[in-house]
Amino acid sequence: MKLSTFTCNVALVWCSLALSASANPLYTKCIACHGAQGEKAALNKSLVIKEMSKEDFMKALKGYKDGSYGREQKAMMKPQVANLSDAQIEELASFIAKK
């Protein structure tokens, strides 16, 4: 009885950790550069994206896609966003950018 309660709790903790780590599959490939919560300046060059407004975040991603946004490292971002739909960009913005 004791043991099974213990196992169950461990499984629950593990499960919620696993869930929070992959809360949004669209963001998984961004983590290496921008941090799990968007808290890092990618390659020390980008803005801290979790501090961006949702509007600015979406403008940036759409701009990397069509070439209308970006600075000297924008070539890094283009392949990241090339296949994202507007709906996916909005989903990412809701997930990472400032509310």
CB 95 within 8 Å of CB 87: no
71 is a site residue for ligand HEC (CB under 6 A): yes
CA 91 – CA 27 distance, rounded (Å): 10
Tell which one of 8, 13, 17, 43 touches ligand HEC (CB under 6 A): 43
34 is a site residue for ligand HEC (CB under 6 A): yes
Nearest Cα residue to 76 out of 23, 26, 18, 34: 34
Which residues lie near ligand HEC (CB under 6 A)? 29-30, 32-34, 42-43, 45-47, 49, 57, 60-61, 70-74, 76-77, 80, 92
